[in-house]
Amino acid sequence: MDEIQQEQPVKRTRRATSAKVSTDAAASAPKTEASSEAPKAEAGEKAAPRRRTRPARTEGAAEKTESAGAPAAESQPERQERTEGREDRETRGSDRDNNRNERDDDRRGGRNRRGRFRDRDRRRGGNQDEQEPEITEDDVLVPVAGILDVLENYAFLRTSGYLPGPNDVYVSLGQVKKYNLRKGDAVVGAIRQPREEQGNQRQKFNALVRVDSINGQTMEEAAARVEFGKLTPLYPDTRLRLETDNKKLSTRIIDLVAPIGKGQRGLIVSPPKAGKTLVLQAIANAISTNNPEVHLMVVLVDERPEEVTDMQRTVKGEVIASTFDRPADDHTTVAELAIERAKRLVELGHDVVVLLDSITRLGRAYNLSAPASGRILSGGVDSSALYPPKRFFGAARNIEHGGSLTILATALVETGSKMDEVIFEEFKGTGNMELRLSRQLADKRIFPAVDINASGTRREEMLMSPQETKIIWKLRRALAGLEQQQALELVLSRLKDTASNVEFLLKLEKSMPVPQESDAE
């Protein structure tokens, strides 16, 4: 124990000596070594006596201050160089930003656009108007004709009907604006015959390179057309006679209870299996027979394929159909292009009759294909889906200075579907003629199953002579007190005994005398 106590002071003295040596070395070393040995010196100072370490600590701090101040004094020129370099870099960066902004301005069509970016936005697509293709001497032109269908950014000539097909012809918007083309125009022109060396590089659709005629007119005459919306509509005043043969009672009874005029907007309201297709065929054949100057169009939407074939073989007119196995977009496309074609003919002063079967199915198709508006009516009908069928049906009108568009559309009722009821109620008050068929009469096999008391035409006196109007009103008064079946059977029995409606009315006037006061009323 005594030896250990004697050795302890010796160890403390050695530690103090080593601390002093390390402090002197740190003071005489360079800046980097002083900074690295500083922790060692501090550790030595803690172990050495306080009175011996104060001078070393003061000298080391002074030398550290001198060594730290020297680089600060030496770095002033370097700091100026760094500042000038930073300013140069900022100047070059701002120049690059300005050049980038100018390029963006050129690409976006700004005021300072120039160079190769001038027409880039036009070449990319979008809302640009493509120029008409140029015809060279080596090109072989092939004639083509079709119905123009104008879409959002392009147009097509439908060469195989009213639906898109593989042989359609592409039409640029520049040509549409240049020749004042409208949707539904019958365009005759030419396309460039593809060359054999093109091979797989051939485009999917051939482009129209020349326009020869528009609806049978020259380009100058077609440019002077009046738009359909600017034509003045009037009440129908020219009658379309449907009576052809004395044995065809359906058309004869329609002439009596619901006469049809040029420009009529009529609804044929029918439940299923009531004979509406037969009535529609009879009306179409009667119009084509008695009024050959009228352009007849039969539009079948969501119809059975066999019904389409039957209509094409029995009707002497233009049959436009979209069967029920096709998507809803095809139904709407056919209907829109057909009504636009009818409008173009009316603009030229023609009389057009469109028979639609049916407007209820057309409303269903628009309800499926139209984007949802968020406002749903009863039956699951979107409120925006009813506007396109109304626009179709509302196009019927009698034009003031010639031309008319007559639309007769069938509407389904008593189907058990709430949607069909909503669609019918929306169109119920829009027409000016209504022919209602009865399911009860059809079940009893009484054809044509016409509900006489529920059928009629607004302003029918404008379609008939005053004498004929008086006799028809007498018949109406007499039939109003009878039941549905009795009234129809009475009229059918009288029609079978006469050869024409004129003979029927003359006999009716003699057998049903009415006081003069009621006639005046």
Span 236-294, pLDDT tens digits: 999 999 999 989 999 999 999 999 999 999 999 999 999 999 999 999 999 999 999 99
Least confident of 121-130, 159-168, 173-182, 345-354: 121-130
Residue 264 annotated as lining a ligand binding site: yes
Amino acid identity of 469?
T
| pLDDT for 496 beyond 80 | yes
Residues contacting residue 239 through CB under 8 Å, at least 6 positions apart: 259, 260, 261, 262, 463, 464
Rounded to whole angstroms, how far apart are CA atoms 466 and 519?
11
Residue 390 annotated as lining a ligand binding site: no
Least confident of 45-49, 369-373, 445-449, 493-497: 45-49
Span 45-100, pLDDT tens digits: 444 444 444 444 444 444 444 444 444 444 565 666 676 667 666 666 666 666 65
Residue 80 annotated as lining a ligand binding site: no
Query: Residue 251: its pLDDT value, please?
Result: 95
State both tokens at 383: 């409120």
Rounded to whole angstroms, how far apart are CA atoms 20 and 393?
112
Beta bridge partners of 411: 269
CATH of the domain at 439: 3.40.50.300
Span 189-220, pLDDT tens digits: 999 887 665 555 556 788 999 999 999 999 99
Residue 278 annotated as lining a ligand binding site: yes
Same domain as 155, residue 273: no
Same domain as 263, residue 340: yes
34 lies in some domain: no
Residues contacting residue 23 through CB under 8 Å, at least 6 positions apart: 41, 44, 45, 53, 56, 57, 59, 60
Strands 456-457 and 186-192 turn out to be unpaired
77 lies in some domain: no
Residue 208 annotated as lining a ligand binding site: no
Query: Residue 159: its pLDDT value, please?
Result: 92
503 lies in some domain: yes
Residue 262 annotated as lining a ligand binding site: yes
| pLDDT for 106 beyond 60 | no
84 lies in some domain: no
156 lies in some domain: yes
Burial-class residue 286 by CB neighbours within 10 Å (0-12, 13-18, 19+).
buried
| Report for 98-112, 321-335, 366-380: range of highest mean pLDDT | 321-335
Other CB atoms within a 10 A radius of the CB of residue 365 amount to 26
| pLDDT for 483 beyond 60 | yes
| pLDDT for 160 beyond 70 | yes
DSSP reduced 3-state for 145: strand
Same domain as 283, residue 189: no
- What is the average pLDDT value for the chain, to the nearest integer? 80
Percent of the chain at pLDDT exceeding 90 = 57
| pLDDT for 31 beyond 50 | no
Span 400-414, pLDDT tens digits: 988 999 999 999 999
Residue 465 sits in which domain range?
A: 233-511
State both tokens at 12: 């403390």
Residue 363 annotated as lining a ligand binding site: no
379 lies in some domain: yes
Rounded to whole angstroms, how far apart are CA atoms 308 and 321?
7
Residue 275 annotated as lining a ligand binding site: yes
Amino acid identity of 311?
M
Is residue 296 within 8 A of residue 316, CB to CB? The reply is: yes
Span 436-455, pLDDT tens digits: 999 999 999 999 999 999 99
Q: How many helices (H) and strands (E) does the chain have?
A: 19, 14
Same domain as 392, residue 293: yes
**Stated length of the chain:** 521
Same domain as 299, residue 165: no
36 lies in some domain: no
- Supply angle C-alpha 146, 151, 157, rounded to 5: 10
Element (H, E) at 354: strand 351-357
Same domain as 298, residue 181: no
Residue 82 annotated as lining a ligand binding site: no
Residue 481 annotated as lining a ligand binding site: no
Same domain as 348, residue 377: yes
Same domain as 295, residue 208: no
Element (H, E) at 159: none
Residue 158 annotated as lining a ligand binding site: no
Residue 490 annotated as lining a ligand binding site: no
Span 321-341, pLDDT tens digits: 999 999 999 999 999 999 999
Is residue 192 within 8 A of residue 210, CB to CB? The reply is: no
496 lies in some domain: yes
Domain count, the chain: 2
| pLDDT for 361 beyond 80 | yes
Residue 467 annotated as lining a ligand binding site: no
Same domain as 258, residue 208: no
Q: How far is CA 180 from the centre of its chain?
A: 21
Query: Residue 521: its pLDDT value, please?
Result: 43
Same domain as 310, residue 186: no
Same domain as 485, residue 359: yes
DSSP reduced 3-state for 324: coil
Is residue 498 within 8 A of residue 511, CB to CB? The reply is: no
CATH of the domain at 160: 2.40.50.140
Same domain as 215, residue 271: no
pLDDT band at 14 (very low <50, low <70, confident <90, very high): very low
